[in-house]
């Protein structure tokens, strides 16, 4: 059985994955784009060896942060694991929905499109190219701007179909509580030494995509470049984390078949039991 634990940053995905894995002797595969990188530990809230409780974890902490690890790379690595452990129960855990979709769906990657300079083409030639792209194109030959826009427009993507049988468990909470969790989480990261963690890579002059775009890292790079104060840096990490949580919800709700569960933070075991009951019901229904 393949389970996917998703949800916004800080909601409790890691804890849920461990509890479910212990119950069903499962392995865990990371589906967080930042947790693949070595040394990016505090800012990504990467699981520790102690927290793993002896459960096999894959695709964590294995990529040099100087390297740009792509979605296509993840798709290849995740599918190799799916094949290798096809007779085991598997849990994907993480907040990068695109990684999950790439791994579990017939998700095709487009070749990089070369930019074409249409300035040297006559309108009649542009129209012929448009008709070749779509015989039903009805743009007037004199509307040069629309002809070029039509040629530059990307093809509508074919809706990806799932390649595996899987269930997606989403953990959620109300916005006020989530934002409070995120804000406090960032402060905890600061106390744990996030500034020192980022400074190490900054001093090595590593300007990779992971470090210049990753939340918790890019803000400190700006701080080290003396573009903002430490207080502003912390506030920016909190703000960007909250905005990221919104984007996560948008992707999960539109791209994945998520069954959502409101987390009981006063007694997390109740949420665990609720998820387990749902999984057992699904097993029974599909047997």
Sheet with strand 166-172: strands edge to edge: 57-58, 27-30, 90-93, 2-6, 166-172, 258-262
- Residue bearing tokens 């039903």: 136
In 3-state terms the chain splits into helix, strand, coil percentages (rounded to 5) of 50, 10, 40
> CA 89, CA 97: separation in Å to the nearest integer?
20
> CA 285, CA 264: separation in Å to the nearest integer?
26
List pLDDT tens digits, range 187-230.
Answer: 999 999 999 999 999 999 999 999 999 999 999 999 999 999 99
Angle at 9 between CA 273 and CA 205, to 5 degrees: 145
Q: Are 237 and 187 in contact (CB under 8 A)?
A: no
Length of the chain: 287
CA distances, 110 to each of 58, 91, 166 (Å): 27, 28, 25
> CA 274, CA 259: separation in Å to the nearest integer?
12
> CA 89, CA 25: separation in Å to the nearest integer?
7
Q: Are 38 and 63 in contact (CB under 8 A)?
A: yes
Q: Tell me if residue 162 falls in helix, strand or coil.
A: strand
- Residue bearing tokens 């007694």: 267
Closest CA to 10 of 226, 198, 237, 207: 237
Dihedral sign for Cα 219, 221, 222, 228, please. Answer: positive
Mean pLDDT by 10 residues, the chain (287 residues): 94 95 91 97 96 96 96 96 95 96 87 72 93 87 90 66 95 97 97 98 95 96 97 97 95 94 96 94 83
Long-range contacts of 191-196 (CB under 8 A, 24+ apart): 192/42, 193/42, 194/42, 194/43, 194/220, 195/220, 195/230
Residue ranges and CATH numbers for the domains of the chain are 2-109+159-286 (3.40.50.300), 123-152 (no CATH)
Q: Tell me if residue 92 falls in helix, strand or coil.
A: strand
> CA 47, CA 241: separation in Å to the nearest integer?
18
Q: Which residues of 94-128 are buried (b: 16+ CB within 10 A; e: fewer)?
A: bbbbebbbbbbbebeeeeeeeeeeeeebeeeebbe
């Amino acid at each position: 059985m393949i389970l996917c634990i998703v949800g916004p940053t800080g909601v409790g995905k890691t804890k849920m994955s461990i509890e479910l894995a212990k119950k069903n002797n499962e392995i865990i595969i990371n589906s967080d784009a930042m947790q693949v990188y070595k040394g990016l530990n505090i800012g990504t809230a990467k699981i520790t060896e102690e927290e793993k409780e002896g459960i096999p974890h894959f695709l964590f902490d294995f990529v040099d942060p100087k390297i740009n690890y792509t979605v296509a790379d993840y798709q290849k690595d995740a599918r190799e694991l799916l094949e290798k452990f096809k007779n085991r129960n598997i849990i994907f855990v993480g907040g990068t929905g695109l990684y999950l979709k790439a791994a579990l769906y017939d998700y095709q990657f487009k070749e990089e499109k070369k930019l074409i300079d249409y300035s040297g083409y006559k309108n009649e030639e542009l129209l012929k190219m448009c008709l070749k792209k779509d015989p039903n194109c009805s743009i007037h030959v004199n509307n040069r701007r629309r002809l070029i826009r039509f040629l530059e427009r990307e093809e509508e993507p074919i809706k990806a179909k799932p390649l595996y049988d899987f269930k997606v468990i989403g953990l959620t909470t109300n916005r006020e509580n989530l934002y409070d969790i995120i804000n406090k989480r960032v402060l905890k990261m600061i106390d744990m030494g996030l500034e020192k963690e980022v400074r190490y890579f900054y001093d090595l002059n590593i300007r990779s995509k992971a470090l210049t775009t990753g939340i918790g890292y890019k803000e400190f790079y700006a701080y080290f470049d003396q573009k903002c104060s430490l207080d502003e840096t912390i506030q920016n990490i909190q703000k960007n984390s909250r905005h990221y949580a919104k984007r996560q919800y948008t992707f999960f709700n539109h791209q994945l078949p998520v069954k959502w569960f409101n987390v009981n933070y006063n007694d997390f075991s109740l949420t665990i039991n609720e998820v387990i009951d749902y999984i057992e019901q699904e097993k029974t229904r599909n047997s």
